[in-house]
Structure 1
Amino acid sequence: MRTPEEHLDAVAGAIPGLSCQTVLAEAAADRILAADVTAPGPSPRFDNSQMDGWAIPAARLGSLPATLSVGPTIAAGADPARVLPGGLGEAAAAVMTGARLPAGTGAVVPVEDCDPDDFAAAEAAGAVRVPATPAGRFIRAAGSDLRAGETVLRAGDRLTPVAVAALIGLGVTEVPVLRRPRVILCTGGAEIGRGGPAGIPDSNGPMLELLCAAAGIDVARRIRVDDDPAALLSALDAALADPGGPVDAILTSGGISHGRFEVVRLALGGSPGAWFGHVAQQPGGPQGLTAHRGVPVVCLPGNPMSTLVSFRLFARPALLRAEGAAADVGGIAAIAAERLTGLPDARVSFRRGRLRVDGAGRLTAAQLGGGSSHLLAQAATADCLIRVPGGGRAIAAGEPVTVLRL
């Protein structure tokens, strides 16, 4: 019997690292960088104004406070070299926030600090009274955020919306990223997806597809088969033959235990290196790992909660590792909202739970419903799994507990 950690290592080891591709920067959010990105130029690209105010000639700073004549206005986006070809000279120029500053600017003084305190009145008077101000005030200097050639982001960084904005602001239009994981989903069993008095709706297929989407894992195709091993192999072959890019793994749900009609185990159990056995956990004890046509097949148990827990513990982190992403494997710390008692044997149990912040600002986790692996409806509002060690150990209310976010 494997531990959960041992099985995760086995699954992750079966899925190779992903290749890289180049994508538009504006479409790269949540992707993993495949290489360092350096700044093609400085940020900001030029000295610009931090305020709506008056650009003051550097030569006049020592004589302030003083009344200065008023020159042309420099709007954001305007080229000051065209408006003032010789630079700022002796006059103050009205500049808007973000405007490129004309040559010779020593500081910017906010319009509200001057007399008169609005542009129109000063322009009508032809002069403005400017208070004393230090050199460089309210000037965003070129390169003050980043110098040309500096590393902006490093390989392995996840591109957040802010990171994407920073790249676009630097003029970076394309970035090298690791390809997103791409999988085939397969649910099996003659009873699944059929009506009648003994049929069971296929909830695992849609659940896995949505879990993949939430994790940034692309689903190439979703198939459903009955208890015929030959039909399963044929369906997998057809799915793998579909164009659209490489498939990194096949995720199956159900058909791996010890029954007479365990279709996945019957079809794939004889593959070289195939492993079907148990992991010391509840739910999701039965697990499998094999391959088909060179593609890793991660075989999850079919009871809905077992499928959910197994995807969260094994398939999701293994695929994210292949992409170079940091997966939340070990969980985070919370406080048990109630007493939790582990199984009498060595198996770790993962209880569906709900996270809350209590009056003291602590993150607490409360168990939802029973522990049986078919109780999917009782997990509908769960947002975490609570890890309870085995050996009959009890965790008292208020004690630390490890949780894995769903």
Structure 2
Amino acid sequence: MRTVDQHLAEILGAVPLLPPLELKLLEAEGGVLAEPVAAPVPLPPFDNSAMDGYAVVASDVAGATEADPVALPVIGDIAAGDSGVTAIRPGLTARIMTGAPLPGGADAVIPVEWTDGGTANVLITRPAPSGHYIRRAGEDVVAGQVVAAEGTRLGAAQLGMLASCGRSRVHVRPKPRVVVLSTGNELREPGSELSPGQIWDSNSFMLTAAVAEAGGVGYRQATVGDEPDRVMETLEDQLMRADALITSGGVSMGARDVVKEVLTGAGTVKFHKVAMRPGKPQGFGLLEGTPIFTLPGNPVSAYVSFQVFVRPALRAMQGLPPDPLPTVTAVLGADLASPAGLRQYVRGRLSFGGGAYSVVPAEGQGSHQLGSLSSANALVVLPEDAEKVPAGSRVEVWRLPS
């Protein structure tokens, strides 16, 4: 058997880096920047009001009190977007709205709550220092500042930043497009009637959702039976729209392990036993240059294999570090045993309290027991030499996507 690290290293050494595309901003969501983006102007680009109120000369209202308010003539209104704003002189004020440009000569904004709300003349009941409620030009970002570095994954906040810099398009490595296929004569589509010996397909739905959680775009293909020609035809048909393929089932040592049968010798695909539990039978290679991950058919084995091998590979294809799931150290809540020489991934419930994490193993750990996986929020990672791990030990825990 090869180790987990050996198998992952082979995968990471083979998966291609996706070429960058120029996309519209919303199309670039989830992509990874292939260029640095700098602000062409300061942000904000001009001094503006942080409140609805009155633009004033601060010295004019220095003595304002509730008992003795300062009265000022209001010379006009300044709304957000006004381009004809000029200036005010001492002894005058202008009504100003949030985001509106500050008129020349003004050095403070009085919020409307500190006034009587007058439109021709206003009574101001509190003083304000110079700079009060003013957003200065460039106080967020200065002109020329890099606001998003190459290699940044674009989420909502990052897209907002790019838009605020005037960018409508950007060069990104896009989300990997991943086609997911389950094989097996026993599989039926959810919603259909079952005959004896049949089960509803769960793996393709689970793995397609896992692709999305990992930052890719998943496409679920309808299940395929154990007919070799049909399996190979389906895989070849999907190559045109896929940056990667995932299959589940048909990779072990059985007489009807169709995926292993049709892909052995195809492209660079090879099959191995990996020293892990669950998920020992694994296959990987390039099929006409496209990575294909052949995962075990048991649901938990398929899911764990995805997190261990596929998720890091999808990240690497976008130029991101192939990091594992977010990892914490936790106190184990029950004794655990692990087979010698195997890296074991144990489902559990992670919680935080008293300044520390703790984790309790799930009751069901069979590779077919999807119920315990669906209620788990973590995987306890037990190394190959950890045959007996007593309660109270500190263990590595992967946090599962919620």
1:217-274 deviation digits (Å, cap 9, x = unpaired): 2234514322222221112122235xxx4x2221111111111111111111123543
Contact 2:54–2:111, Cα closer than 8 Å, also in 1: yes
Equivalence for 1:139: 134
2:79 matched to 1:76? yes
For residues 129 and 260 of structure 1, the distance between their equivalents in structure 2, rounded to whole angstroms, comes to 88
Corresponding residue of 1:376: 370
Q: TM-score, normalised by structure 1?
A: 0.87
Spell out, residue by residue over 1:301-345, the C-alpha distance to the aligned partner (whole angstroms, 9 max, x if none): 111111111011111221122112345416512323423333241
**Which deviations, in whole Å up to 9, do the C-alpha atoms of 1:79-129 show, x marking residues without a partner?**
2635xx5x212312222222211122222233444xxx2222xx45x3645
Task: Read off the aligned partner of 2:116 and give its amino acid letter.
Answer: D
Matches within 5 A, 1:175-194: 175-193=170-188
Q: 1:131, 1:225 → 2: CA distance? A: 75
- Bigger drift between 27-36 and 307-316 goes to 27-36
Q: How many angstroms apart in 1 are the aligned matches of 2:211 and 2:34?
A: 21
Instruction: Measure, in 1, the Cα distance between the counterparts of 2:397 and 2:35.
Output: 33
Contact 1:284 1:307 survives alignment (8 Å): yes
Name the aligned partner's letter for residue 391 of structure 2: A
Change (3 A) 1:133 1:210: closer
Between the two proteins, what is the percent identity of the paired residues?
35
Structure 1: gaps (5+ residues) = none
Rounded Cα–Cα distance in structure 2 between residues aligned with 1:38 and 1:325: 21
Distance in 1 (alpha carbons) for counterparts of 2:295 and 2:177 = 17
SS of match in other structure, 2:246 = strand
2:149 alignment counterpart: 154
Residues 50 and 97 in structure 1, CA contact (< 8 A), matched pair in contact too: yes
User: How much has 1:196 moved relative to structure 2?
Assistant: 2.3
Match of 2:330, SS state, is strand
SS at 2:77's partner residue?
coil
CA distance in 1 between partners of 2:9 and 2:79 (Å): 55
- What one-letter code is carried by the residue in structure 1 that aligns with 2:235? L
Q: What residue is the counterpart of 1:250 in the other structure? A: 245
Deviation at 1:158, TM superposition (A): 1.9
1:18–1:179 CA contact under 8 A, matched in 2: yes
Identify which range, 293-302 or 214-223, moves more after superposition.
214-223
Unaligned 5+ runs, structure 2: 65-69
In the aligned structure 1, how far is the partner of 2:269 from the partner of 2:294? 10
Rounded to whole Å, the distance in 2 between the matches of 1:263 and 1:288 is 13
* Greater mean deviation of Cα atoms: 222-231 or 374-383: 222-231
Is 1:164 the equivalent of 2:159?
Answer: yes
Q: Which residue of 2 aligns with 1:65?
A: 63
Q: How does 1:227-376 map to 2 (within 5 A)?
A: 227-241=226-240, 245=241, 247-329=242-324, 331-358=326-353, 360-376=354-370
Aligned to 1:13: 13
Q: How far apart in 2 are the matches of 1:258 and 1:353?
A: 30
TM-score norm. by structure 2 comes to: 0.88
Measure how far apart 1:370 and its partner are. Answer: 2.8
Native 8 Å contact 2:268 2:287 kept in 1? no
Tell me if 1:197 matches 2:196: yes
SS in 2 for 1:70: strand
- 1:118 paired residue number: 116
CA RMSD of aligned residues (A): 2.5
- C-alpha displacement at 1:3, in angstroms? 1.4
Q: Distance in 1 between matches of 2:195 and 2:275?
A: 36
C-alpha change, 1:331 and 1:7, in structure 2 (3 Å) is farther
Q: Structure 2 counterpart of 1:381, which letter? A: S
Q: 1-side partners of 2:250 and 2:101: how far apart?
A: 67
Q: Is the 8 A contact 2:8 2:309 kept in 1?
A: yes
Aligned equivalents of 1:160 and 1:217: distance in 2? 13
Q: Structure 1 stretch 301-310 or stretch 129-138: which is displaced more? A: 129-138
How far apart are 1:296 and its partner, in Å?
A: 1.9
Structure 1 residue 133: Cα displacement: 4.3
Cα offset for 1:281? 0.6
SS at 1:397 equivalent: coil
User: Matched residue pairs, number?
Assistant: 390
* Aligned-pair CA distance for 1:18: 0.9
Kept in 1, the 8 Å contact 2:49–2:134? The answer is yes
Counterpart-to-counterpart distance in 1, 2:62 and 2:333: 69
- Secondary structure of 1:72's aligned partner: strand
Q: Which residue of 1 aligns with 2:67?
A: none
Q: CA deviation at 1:152?
A: 0.7
1:74 match: secondary structure: strand
Change (3 A) 1:290 1:105: same
Q: Does residue 45 in structure 1 map to residue 45 in structure 2?
A: yes
- In structure 2, how many angstroms separate the alpha carbons of the residues matched to 1:27 and 1:68? 53
Q: Distance in 1 between matches of 2:239 and 2:222?
A: 11
Residues 342 and 348 in structure 1, CA contact (< 8 A), matched pair in contact too:
no
Which residue identity does 2:382 align to in structure 1? V
